[in-house]
Amino acid sequence: MASYLLERSPTVRRDRLESKYEHLRYARLATAAQRSPEFGPYDGLVPAAGAKQLASILIPTGPALEPTSITSTTQPVTNAVSASRLETLGTCPRKYFFQRALGIRAPDLWERETNAWLSPLQLGSLIHELFEEFLLDLTARDLVPNVARDSQPLQSRLDELLRKWAQQIPVHSQDAFDRRRNELMDTCEIFLMKEQEYCQQRQARPWIVEASLGSPRKDRSIQTANPVINQATNPLDCDTPIELALTDGRALRLAGRIDRIDRLLITGSERYVIWDYKSGSNFGYSQSDPFAQGRKLQPFLYVGMLRHRFEQLDRDPDAVEGFGYFFPSPRCEGLRLEWSTVQLSRGEEIIRQLCDLLTSGTFIATNKKEDCGFCDYAPVCGPPEDLVVISEMKAQAPGNPTLDAWRSLRHG
């Protein structure tokens, strides 16, 4: 070591150090490559990862990277891709690479949470379960939500559900539990009020609750007292992945769970709208920009899946009117964002751009630092401010043809 430190020539010293500690050479090359306008392996260009065969070499037991295939009648359909997986790719290809190609997962941390009872994920599950149970009961009786009639029963159902959840998820603080309960009571009130208003205005009736398309229906995490609800299925459920054909000949194999489908009566004809409940905030969602530059794909994909399912069942696919998000939390005050099938039609172009990213193995970092906000990989990625500047510099530089799909995705 002394001989390294005493060496006067920086180049010789560096070469000696790098011959001993090889990772230092890679770090130097990576830093230099990131500063150059060229987009290369150190920025996320990994063509091998785009191909199924090579992807399986990278992750021998992992899932295939490319989620598309030419539709074939001889090849059985195996795995299916979810909207959230494609949304990860559209949000940040580098994140997708870490998650899907390298299979890196953040460790599960066990923290005793005393300030909040239920994580955001658990809160979402509980709300979905509550509304599912409530609406299954209503649809079985051919009713639409009504504040005067349903307010008390819905709050009683909530209390019953809270008791069951509290048996499985320990309550460390009564204050935290009470705060969560109050928030959920307000959510129920907003939900009912907005549902009554919406059903009246749109001549809508909840039709299907929790349709499982493309994958087997999962058992409920917590069973209700009503066996009919526990075993509820519906005519749309199907185990086989749904194929969504793209105009370039490829086809996506999709799976997803639709929270709810409403039937609308419009000038005597029946139309259908998909609704997805969002228990969190509406950050990142915009009525004027349904795709958020590839970050939001669920509306387009779910409409496509339902149209396909309708075709399989000899129903009219054009009866699928559109897709909406419903945010019933007190923070969002029952906000609804809704797009027609026509407004979502550009989704196909975006899906093709995402597939092109995978095909060329382009796993560039996002160009928006907000995407890094809750990302598990932030500790290994570096400061988001620097990442987005580098990403944008590469995208703006002339050349780099593998970035064409990315440029189109982000800059139109």
Which of the residues 192 through 221 are near ligand SF4 (CB under 6 A)? none
Stretch that binds ligand SF4, among 49-57, 116-124, 134-142, 374-382 (CB under 6 A): 374-382
- The residue among 260 and 368 lying less far from ligand SF4, judged by its C-beta, is 368
**Which residue, 84 or 223, has its beta carbon nearer to ligand SF4?**
84
Q: Looking at this protein, which amino acid is placed at residue 286?
A: S
381 binds ligand SF4, rule: CB under 6 A: yes
In one-letter notation, the amino acid at residue 118 is: L
Q: How far is the CB of 98 from ligand SF4 (least distance, A)?
A: 6
* Three-state SS sequence of the chain: CHHHHHCCCHHHHHHHHHHHCHHHHHHHHHHHHHHCCCCCHHHCECHHHHCHHHHHHHCCCCCCCCCEEECCCCCCCCCCECHHHHHHHHHCHHHHHHHHHCCCCCCCCCCCCCCCCCCHHHHHHHHHHHHHHHHHHHHHCCCCCCHHHHHHHHHHHHHHHHHHHHHHCCCCCHHHHHHHHHHHHHHHHHHHHHHHHHHHHHCEEEEEEEEEECCCCCCCCCCCCCHHHHCCCCCCCECCCEEEECCCCEEEEECEEEEEEEEEEECCEEEEEEEEECCCCCCCCCCCCCCHHHCCCHHHHHHHHHHHHHHHCCCCHHHEEEEEEEECCCCCCCEEEEEECCCCCCHHHHHHHHHHHHHHCECCCCCCHHHHCCCCCHHHHCCHHHHHHHHHHHHHCCCCHHHHHHHHHHHC
Contacting ligand SF4 (CB under 6 A), which of 90, 322, 384, 403? 384
Nearer to ligand SF4, 100 or 309 (CB): 100
Binding residues with ligand SF4: total (CB under 6 A): 14
Q: Is there binding between residue 395 and ligand SF4 (CB under 6 A)?
A: no
* Binders in 336-365 for ligand SF4, by CB under 6 A: 365
Among 101, 158, 273, 375, binds ligand SF4 (CB under 6 A): 375
Q: Under the criterion CB under 6 A, does residue 387 sit at the interface with ligand SF4?
A: yes
- Binding of residue 410 to ligand SF4 (CB under 6 A): no
Contacts of 43 (CB under 8 A, 6+ apart): 33, 34, 364, 365, 390, 394
Minimum CB separation from ligand SF4 for residue 386, in Å? 10
Q: In terms of CB distance, is 50 or 93 closer to ligand SF4?
A: 93
Q: How far is the CB of 350 from ligand SF4 (least distance, A)?
A: 18
Binding mask 93-112 for ligand SF4 (x = CB under 6 A): -xx--x--------------
The residue from 234, 378, 392, 404 that contacts ligand SF4 (CB under 6 A) is 378
Among 133, 150, 210, 371, the residue binding ligand SF4 under the rule CB under 6 A is: 371
Q: Which of 353, 366, 367, 400 touches ligand SF4 by CB under 6 A?
A: 366
In the list 66, 315, 377, 393, the residue contacting ligand SF4 (rule: CB under 6 A) is 377
Site string for ligand SF4, 67-96 (x = CB under 6 A): -------------------------x-xx-
Q: Does 310 bind ligand SF4 (CB under 6 A)?
A: no
Task: Rank residues 212 and 391 by Cβ distance to ligand SF4 and give the closer one.
Answer: 391
Instruction: Closer to ligand SF4 by CB, 85 or 95: give it.
Output: 95
- State the SS3 of 206-239: EEEEEEEECCCCCCCCCCCCCHHHHCCCCCCCEC
Exactly one of 161, 236, 258, 372 binds ligand SF4 (CB under 6 A); which one? 372
Between 95 and 308, CB nearer to ligand SF4: 95
- How far apart are the C-alpha atoms of 363 and 50, rounded to whole Å? 10
Least separation in angstroms between CB 317 and ligand SF4: 36
User: What is d(CA 122, CA 165) in angstroms, rounded to the nearest whole number?
Assistant: 10
**Residues lying near ligand SF4 in the complex (CB under 6 A):** 92, 94-95, 98, 365-366, 371-372, 375, 377-378, 381, 384, 387
